[in-house]
Structure 1
Amino acid sequence: MDTQCVSIKHPQGDEPMAKKSQQAEERAFQTLFELIRTREIRPGERIYETDLTERFGMSRTPLRTALGRLVAEGVLFKTPGRKGYVLPVLSGNDMRDVFYARAALEGMAGFLLAEKCPEHAIENLTDIIRRQRELFDTGIRKGEYASLNGLFHFTLVELAGNGYITRAFSPVYWRSIMYTLLYATFYTGVEDVETPHHPRRPSREQHQEIVEAVKSRDGEHTRKIIEIHVLENCEYWKGDRSTEGAAAPAEPVERR
């Protein structure tokens, strides 16, 4: 028997079916995430697979996989025995809890990475920052910038090489990013008049500071730099009542 790996080809092309399936699932995932970012799916709202299929022309299988991935990451909730998915209501207390958890995990990852400081880690992180700067120079695309921002943080955690931190980090990050996408003025384009403006350095500059800390091989310094970077989000939105009242009603909104 021939033991070499055989790729299953799509009848209408040369690309393996598995790769096309993965691409369809990724497109569905990115589409759903963009709907959340633009508030077409609102916190507290119940959404249905059939509705999404009809509204956006998505195929059922990749859509179902993408929804399952968002549930696994803690972005969406699915109640046993009930149809549909819910984007959880956000709150100030939840925001503080999730950002403190993220700061602890990511800070320790930075500590471990700085202790090792492999050359390829510096190169990978620096390349992501370069792409962030290029995106600003050529015209900011917020969805793409959000993806690069996430890539930087996930890469840093994975390069630390601690599987327990990596597995714990993913759902915490995705939960925290909901607050960033839905309430940070960079993404919403709306300044909350009830919230004092807090000047912030661009994230790409803060990311460069993190890389410099890693290069110094000072684990404790790196941990502190990362914690400050992550927790700055809580300080930035402290007292912002939009996370308490504007998110959604207590009962999920039905959308079919």
Structure 2
Amino acid sequence: MLSTGLPQGAVPRLERPGPLRDRVYEALLELIITRALSPGQHLVESELAGHLGVSRQPVREALQRLNTEGWVDLRPAQGAFVHEPTEQEADQLLTVRTLLEAEAARLAATSADDAGIAVLEELCAEGERAVAADDVDTAVALNARFHTKVMELAGNTVLAELAAQVERRVRWYYTPVARQRGHRSWEEHRELIAAIADHDEERATAVSRAHTEHTRKTYHERER
């Protein structure tokens, strides 16, 4: 076990083709989002480079980019650390998410077809199976796919672009409460599917708003 907290061999070595610094950035960002690298954790360039099978230079460049985007804190004379989000940061992000998701649900209720609703139902079934198996990583990924599909069914490109900008941070905040939200989250998804299938804009909006608010409240009440 290295000081970064990642088991030897847990991170696959990167393939060389393509812009290496971008691939390193994406790999580190995914490790942060999934909390394989936890908030506050010290990031040692040489150890991360060893995990990823690259030199320290692309790791250094990736950490600088992650710092600019607020995922990593670079502290003089101390090094790089995974950013620890404040309660205010989380609240602001999850509040914006509530607004975006509620509008997406309303629009989806006006235009979703049977094929789109079938996709939502299948994603929901997969999510329920993941929860039953206590597979948190898969449940988190399926939750993101479910909400992305609702955005797609909304048919508003600008709204979808805005949602995509916050999606990764939503996953970051959702991961530590995914197990706690558990089956209830997917029950709420089924309520949303029913409202969309009935083309009930008002109910879809209300269900979506309540659903995202439950996640926000659970995050603030989580065990630290």
TM-score computed with the length of structure 1 as normaliser: 0.63
> Which structure is richer in relative contact order (CA contacts within 8 A, separation 6 or more)?
1
Identity %: 18
Instruction: Report the RMSD for the aligned CA atoms in angstroms.
Output: 3.8
Picking from 8, 30, 33, the partner of 1:33 is 30
> After superposition, where does 1:154-165 map in structure 2 within 5 Å?
154-165=148-159
Residue of 170, 179, 183 corresponding to 1:176: 170
Check the 8 A contact 1:114/1:213 in 2, yes or no: yes
Q: Structure 1 or 2: larger helix share? A: 2
Which residues of structure 1 form unaligned runs of 5+? 1-17, 188-198, 243-256
Q: Which residue of 1 aligns with 2:195?
A: 213
C-alpha distance 158-87 of structure 1, shift in aligned 2 (>3 A): farther
Q: Residue type matched to 2:179 in 1?
A: F
- C-alpha separation in 2, matches of 1:185 and 1:132: 11
Q: Does 1:102 align with 2:84?
A: no
Matching residue's letter, 1:33: E
- Corresponding residue of 1:118: 113
CA contact (8 A) 2:31 2:37 kept: no
Counterpart CA distance in 2 for 1:217 and 1:47 is 48
Aligned equivalent of 2:39: 43
Corresponding position of 1:87? 82
Distance 1:129 1:186 in 2: 16
* Structure-1 separation of matches of 2:91 and 2:190: 25
1:186 counterpart (173, 179, 189) = 179
Label 1:58 to 1:102 Cα distance change in 2 as closer, same or farther (>3 A).
farther
User: Within 2, Cα distance between the matches of 1:149 and 1:30?
Assistant: 20
| Number of the residue aligned with 1:129 | 124
Provide the secondary structure at the position in 2 that maps to 1:180: helix
Greater Cα shift, 43-52 or 173-182: 43-52
TM-score by length of 2: 0.71
Which whole-Å CA distance do the structure 2 matches of 1:46 and 1:151 have between them? Answer: 30
2:7: which partner in 1? Answer: none
Distance 1:27 1:150, change over 3 A: farther
**Cα 1:126–1:49 shift into 2, 3 Å:** farther
Unpaired stretches in structure 2, ≥5 consecutive residues? 1-14
Q: CA deviation at 1:214?
A: 0.4
Q: For the structure 1 residues 170 and 87, does the alpha-carbon distance in structure 2 shift closer, same or farther, using more than 3 Å as the test?
A: farther
2:10 matched residue in structure 1: none
Number of residues paired by the alignment?
202
User: Structure 1: how far apart are the matches of 2:221 and 2:129?
Assistant: 34
Computing the radius of gyration over CA atoms, which structure comes out larger, 1 or 2? 1
